[in-house]
Amino acid sequence: MRARIFLAMLIACAVCVTAAAETIVVGGRLEIAPTTVPHPHRGQTMQQVERAFGTPLGRSAPIGHPPMTWWDYRNFTVYFEYTRVVHAVVHPPAARTRARHSSAATSGR
C-alpha cells in the first residue's frame, strides 16, 4: 500500500514539475523553458549523486519493493530505485528563493 502511495506521489511530481524544464511567465503567458539548475540524471548511483551534489538535506527510508527512496536537496529532490536515480524533480523557483532566504536568516546573514 505504501509503495502505491509513493508511486502516485512520484507520478504527480513528474506531471507537475519536470526535471528538464521550468515553468516561466513571459508577457503574461505561461511557457516551459529548459532548466539551468544542475541536477542528477537517470541511472546515476547514490554514490555519484552524493559525490557530485554533496550530502542531502534529508533522506527517506526505503519504501516498497523494489525499494524506493528519495533525497532532498535545496534545489531538487532525487528519487531512487535500489541505488539508481529514476527521477529528479527541480523545485520551483519560488521554493528555491524561500530556501535561500530561510538559510540566510538561520545563519545570521
Three-state DSSP string of 15-75: HHCCCCEEEEEECCEEEEEECCCCCCCCCCEHHHHHHHHCCCCEECCCECCCCEEEEECCC
- State pLDDT tens for residues 64-96: 999 999 999 999 999 999 999 999 998 887 655
Q: What's the structural domain count of the chain?
A: 1
The domain of 12 spans 2-107
- State pLDDT tens for residues 23-65: 566 677 776 667 788 999 999 999 999 999 999 999 999 999 9
Q: Which helix (H) or strand (E) holds 83?
A: none
Could you count the other beta carbons within 10 Å of the beta carbon of residue 73?
A: 21
